[in-house]
Amino acid sequence: MQPNPETDELAALLAGLPRIELGPAREARILAALQRAAAPRGRWWVRGVPLWQAAAACVAVAGLTAAAFWTTVPRATGDRIGDPSPRLEAGAGDAPVVVRLDAPVFSHRSRPPPIDVSRWRLLGPDP
């Protein structure tokens, strides 16, 4: 743009007109807000964590705990927590039942293979 003395003169006149200032109080408020925003955050429970984030964290922790429990705790064949206890078969009397396990069913980190207990029977006396 070509310099124009008249335009420059008018621009200088306009630039020299008095302006409204924000004032020390408002400027101090701006600077204080800047310092506050830059200050290290406080404890996590006063940071204002959004409710949905807290809920999502709880659900995730519960899911991981349940998964860890179901994959690491050894259990008997196919039973579930809360199932009724098995009843004694007729004729078993009060004689102790001895069971010999030929397979390492409790050493699995994952879910043990199902065992067919329908063919189990009482063993004779231990030699």
Partner 1 sequence: MTAADGGGAGDATAWAAVYLAHRRALTAYALALTGSADDAADLIQDVLVSLLARPRECRAPRAFLLGCLRNRAIDLRRRAAARPARPPPETAGVEPVFLSSDADDMAVRETVMRVQAALRAAPPTQREVIVLKIWGELTFAEIAELLARPQGSVASDYARGLAGLRAVLTAEETHAAQS
Nearest C-alpha neighbor of 76 from the set 113, 102, 109? 113
Minimum distance from CB of 5 to partner 1 (Å)? 12
Q: What would the DSSP string read from start to end of 67-117?
A: HHHHHHS--STT--TTPPPPPPPTT-TTPPP-----S-TT--SSPPPP--G
Task: Indicate the residue among 26 and 111 with the shorter CB distance to partner 1.
Answer: 26
With beta carbons less than 8 A apart as the criterion, state whether 62 and 99 touch.
Answer: no
Task: Indicate the residue among 24 and 93 with the shorter CB distance to partner 1.
Answer: 24
Minimum distance from CB of 42 to partner 1 (Å)? 15
Task: Indicate the residue among 17 and 88 with the shorter CB distance to partner 1.
Answer: 17
Task: Indicate the residue among 12 and 88 with the shorter CB distance to partner 1.
Answer: 12
Residues binding partner 1 (CB under 8 A) = 1, 4, 6-7, 10-11, 13-15, 17-23, 26-27, 29-31, 33-35, 37-39
Q: Cβ neighbours of residue 19 under 8 Å, at least 6 residues apart?
A: none
State which amino acid sits at residue 7. T
Minimum distance from CB of 65 to partner 1 (Å)? 34
